[in-house]
Amino acid sequence: MAGNPAAAAPSSSGSSSVFLPPPSPSDGELLRSLHRLARDLSAVDTPAPFLRAAFASISRRSKLLAAAFDDLLLCGAAGELPRSASLCLREVLLVLQRFKAIVADCSARSRMRLLLESDEMEAELRELNHDLATLLDLLPVVELGLADDVLDVLALASRQCRRCSPAPESEEALKASVLSLIQEIEREIVPERERLEEILVEVGINDPASCSEEIESLEQEIGDRASEKWTASMIALVGLLRYAKCVLFSATPRPSDSNSKADVEAEDGEPPVPPSDFRCPISLDLMRDPVVVASGQTYDRESIDRWFSSGKSTCPKTGQVLANLELVSNKALKNLISKWCRENGVAMEACEASKSEQAQAVAANKAALEAARMTASFLVKKLSVSFSPDAANRVVHEIRLLSKSGSENRAFVGEAGAVPLLVPLLYSEDAGLQLNAVTALLNLSILEANKKRIMHADGAVEAVAHIMSSGATWRAKENAAAAVLSLASVHSYRRRLGRNQSVVEKLVHLVRTGPSSTKKDALAALLTLAGERENVGKLVDAGVAEVALSAISKEETAAAVLAALAKRGGAEAIVNIDGAVARLVAEMRRGTDWARENATAALVLLCRRLGAPAVTQVMAVPGVEWAIWELMSIGTERARRKAASLGRICRRWAAASAADGERGGGCPVATVVPPAMMAS
Q: So where are the chain's domains?
A: 25-166, 173-247, 278-331, 576-660
Q: What pLDDT, in 10s, does the model give residues 616-641?
A: 999 999 989 898 999 898 888 888 99
Rounded Cα gap, residues 84 and 465, in angstroms: 82
Q: What pLDDT, in 10s, does the model give residues 564-605?
A: 999 999 999 999 999 999 999 999 988 888 889 999 999 999
Single out the residue of 220, 184, 202 nearest to residue 115, CA to CA.
Answer: 202
Reported as type and span, the H/E element at residue 471 is: none
Q: What pLDDT, in 10s, does the model give residues 419-450?
A: 999 999 999 999 999 999 999 999 999 999 99
Burial class (CB in 10 A: 0-12, 13-18, 19+), 597: buried
From the centroid of its chain, how far is CA 207? Answer: 26
Position 333: which residue type? Answer: L
Q: What percent of the chain has pLDDT over 90?
A: 44
Q: Are 60 and 110 in contact (CB under 8 A)?
A: no
Rounded Cα gap, residues 655 and 652, in angstroms: 5
Q: Is the pLDDT of residue 664 over 70?
A: no
Burial class (CB in 10 A: 0-12, 13-18, 19+), 492: exposed
Q: What is the pLDDT of residue 28?
A: 83
- Residue 299 bridge partners (DSSP): 291
Helices and strands (DSSP H and E) totals, the chain: 37, 3
Q: Are 214 and 345 in contact (CB under 8 A)?
A: no
At the topology level, CATH places domain 278-331 in: Herpes Virus-1 (3.30.40)
Question: Which pTM was predicted?
Answer: 0.72
**Helix ranges (DSSP H) in 187-322:** 193-203, 208-223, 231-248, 261-266, 301-309
Rounded Cα gap, residues 640 and 630, in angstroms: 9
For residue 423, what are the contacts with CB-CB under 8 A and spacing of at least 6?
Answer: 441, 457, 458, 459, 460, 463
Rounded Cα gap, residues 109 and 657, in angstroms: 78
Q: What's the order of all strands across the beta sheet hosting 328-329?
A: 298-300, 290-292, 328-329
Question: Which of 390-393's residues contact partners 24+ apart within 8 Å by CB, and which partners?
Answer: 390/259, 392/425, 392/428, 392/433, 393/253, 393/257, 393/259, 393/430, 393/432, 393/433, 393/436
Single out the residue of 423, 377, 429, 420 nearest to residue 398, CA to CA.
Answer: 377
Mean of per-residue pLDDT scores for the chain: 83
Greatest extent of the chain over all pairs of C-alpha atoms, in Å:
125
Q: Are 341 and 548 in contact (CB under 8 A)?
A: no
Question: Which of 662-669's residues contact partners 24+ apart within 8 Å by CB, and which partners?
Answer: 669/619
Assign 133 a pLDDT band (cuts: 50, 70, 90): very high
Strands 328-329 and 298-300: unpaired
Q: What pLDDT, in 10s, does the model give residues 109-120?
A: 999 999 999 888
Planar angle of CA 285, 291, 293, nearest 5 degrees:
115
Rounded Cα gap, residues 491 and 380, in angstroms: 30
Question: DSSP string covering 62-116, please?
Answer: HHHHHHHHHHHHHTTTTSPPPHHHHHHHHHHHHHHHHHHHHHHHHHHS-HHHHHH
For residue 190, what are the contacts with CB-CB under 8 A and spacing of at least 6?
Answer: 374
Q: What percent of the chain has pLDDT over 70?
A: 86
Assign 267 a pLDDT band (cuts: 50, 70, 90): very low
Q: Are 574 and 545 in contact (CB under 8 A)?
A: yes
Rounded Cα gap, residues 653 and 643, in angstroms: 15
Rounded average pLDDT over 519-528 = 92
- Structure-model confidence comparison of residues 16 and 282, the more confident one: 282
Assign residue 622 a region: left if phi > 0, alpha if psi is -120 to 50, beta otherwise? beta
Residue 385 to residues 190, 305, 394: CA-CA distances in angstroms? 20, 41, 13
- Residue 210 bridge partners (DSSP): none
**Helix ranges (DSSP H) in 224-299:** 231-248, 261-266
> Which DSSP symbol is given to 253?
P
Rounded average pLDDT over 283-309 = 84
Backbone angles phi and psi of 209, in degrees to 5: -65, -50
For residue 378, what are the contacts with CB-CB under 8 A and spacing of at least 6?
Answer: 243, 246, 247
Q: How many CA atoms lie within 13 A of 148 on its CB side?
A: 0
- Return the minimum-mean-pLDDT range out of 248-257, 294-303, 524-533, 609-618: 248-257
Over its C-alpha atoms, the chain yields an Rg (Å, rounded) of 35
Rounded Cα gap, residues 297 and 261, in angstroms: 35
Rounded average pLDDT over 177-190 = 89
Single out the residue of 506, 490, 368 nearest to residue 426, CA to CA.
Answer: 506
Q: Are 140 and 85 in contact (CB under 8 A)?
A: yes
- Return the minimum-mean-pLDDT range out of 4-13, 232-241, 408-417, 610-619: 4-13
